[in-house]
Amino acid sequence: MSQSSNYKPRVSVTKQLPKEVEERMVKLFDTTLRHTSSSMTQDELKSAIANCEVFVPTVTDIINSDIISAASDKLRLIANFGAGTDHIDINFAHQRGIIVTNTPGVLTEDTADLTMALILAVPRRLVEGDRRARSGKFEGWTPTFMLGHRIKGKRLGIIGMGRIGQAVARRAKAFGLEVHYHNRSRLPAGIEDKLDATYWPTLDPMLPSIDIVVITCPSTPETYHLINKKRLKLLSPTSYIVNTSRGEVIDEKALAIALSNGELSGAGLDVYEDEPQIHPDLIKLQNVILSPHIGSATYESRQEMGEKVMINIRAMVDGHAYPDRVLPLSE
């Protein structure tokens, strides 16, 4: 049901957002902002959700049934500032009659850019070289100094061929990589042909032939530790792993052991199993590039995420269909 044109729903935001987004939200809605990027405690989350009609968490806020239970009957929408929703108990929200929305699509190109940057940087030892140059250990060019690997002609294996996976495939093709992929379902023939991509219906047979594994699949119970000790041993010692999806898809302890033992050549990680904590054994390794979950961290992406949040809130006010509704698993 649509509301009057003067109606401004009460909105509660859990973290500081870009200035332009905050200014628009305050203008459009009765918005309570939070002027810090630190995470709320469980008690603070319960207080923030208690009396609002729209709750705007981010992907690092754990919105479980306990938090949702603290909301009043006025809460109608959880408008997540982010694409991933594995931190929200969507089924419980649905039982309470609360809609959950997210911000898909606008993160695709930026996350694919960072993924491609890691695909280039890890085999060419870019960050390691930067550290060496800054430390004063660069003594001049020699034929055997800082040798890495060419990526042209190498086999790229993408795990998860959704929006981001396909965007990575387009970039990889331009760099001369041979694209292979594993996905729950095969892409339409037209898309597959355009990407020159080879489909593998099961993961294990694909891995031994892959030079660079890229993980772009969502976090689900089925993908938890999808890349485990057993699958790491299927990879060649000259192979690399890049993960820009969710940290829990990789068994980080097993990955650190494989990298330390020379069973893999290197890794590029933007996400971690226990963020913001990073496995200490990974931090010690020189053949790993660690970036602090910046896959979508561009001015453009954050602005567009804010726009999507506001569009979904506006849909609630106007009684329209939610453009980015996330359905519960049971539906």
Cα separation, 173 vs 43, whole angstroms:
48
Is the distance from CB of 87 to CB of 65 less than 8 angstroms? no
Instruction: Say how far apart CA 255 and CA 241 lie, in whole Å.
Output: 9
Residues designated catalytic: 246, 275, 293
- The interaxial angle of helices 299-318 and 19-28, nearest 10 deg, is 10
3-state percent breakdown (helix, strand, coil) of the chain, nearest 5: 35, 15, 50
The span from the first CA to the last CA of the chain, in angstroms, equals: 23
pLDDT at 2: 53
Phi, psi of 181 (to 5 degrees): -155, 150
What are the structure tokens assigned to 118, written together?
């890691």
Statement: 108-290 belongs to CATH 3.50.50.60:
no
What are the extents of the domains in the chain? 10-106+298-318, 108-290
For residue 39, count CB atoms less than 10 angstroms from its CB and return exposed for 0-12, middle for 13-18, buried for 19 or more.
middle
Q: Are 226 and 159 in contact (CB under 8 A)?
A: yes
> What is the C-alpha to C-alpha distance for residues 181 and 186, in angstroms, rounded to an integer?
9
Place of tokens 């973290």: 15
Q: Which residues of 62-98 are buried (b: 16+ CB within 10 A; e: fewer)?
A: ebeeebbebbeeebbbbbbbbbbbebbbbebbbeeeb
Q: Which residues of the chain have a pLDDT value below 50?
A: 1, 331
Q: Tell me whether the CATH fold assigned to 10-106+298-318 matches the one assigned to 108-290.
A: yes
Look at the domain 10-106+298-318 and name its fold.
Rossmann fold (3.40.50)
Model pLDDT, residue 329: 76
Measured in residues, the chain has a length of: 331
Q: What is the pLDDT of residue 331?
A: 46
